[in-house]
Amino acid sequence: MSDWITTAHVTVDPLPLDWRDQLAVRLGQRPRRIGPWAELALYGARLCLDAAGESALPAQAQLRVASLSGPRNATRQIVEQAQTGLPMPFSFMQSQPSQMLAALSRHLGWQGDARFIVSRDQQAVLDLALQECSAAGVLIGWVEEDRRTEWWRMVLRGP
């Protein structure tokens, strides 16, 4: 751990009422076709990169997202839809954590190693992420639906 430095750490808890408006202003548009949980991930990730002074995530950096809630509301909705027929495609997509990773990739203009990985032990997720990343480091966040988003930008300490 001592080889890594945290260049930004952002916690938003509780969420401001206008967080979605803030995100739309920052992106210059409202994100389309993603659910509230993915949008909250994007909100935190963007804030953290801004706090680190980075306009974009470097190509070799890695992205990790964890959550105990996951996209809970979308999951509940898709189960209800599937009980009565074919669910709406966007509802299904919003229930998949992988679609959140795709949204982050798209809106951060970045292609690379992104994963949704969860443990009860927050430190274990961070330790694993740091084992897996290069000197370009990691952007890692915990995103709990309707409640909070917390992100770290970490890079390898220079020589």
- Positions touching other proteins (CB under 8 A) are 63, 67-70, 72, 75-76, 78-79, 81-89, 92-93, 95-107, 111-121, 124-125, 128, 131-132
Structure-token pair, residue 124: 């274990």
Q: Identify whether the C-beta of residue 108 lies closer than 8 Å to the C-beta of residue 69.
A: no
Nearer CB in complex with other proteins: 53/89: 89
Number of other residues whose CB lies within 10 A of the CB of residue 82: 13
Q: Smallest distance, Å, CB 118 to other proteins?
A: 4
The residues, any chain, with a CB within 8 Å of residue 21's CB and separated by 6 or more, are: none
Nearer CB in complex with other proteins: 58/87: 87
Nearer CB in complex with other proteins: 57/155: 57
Q: Smallest distance, Å, CB 100 to other proteins?
A: 8
Bridge partner residues of 4 (DSSP): 156
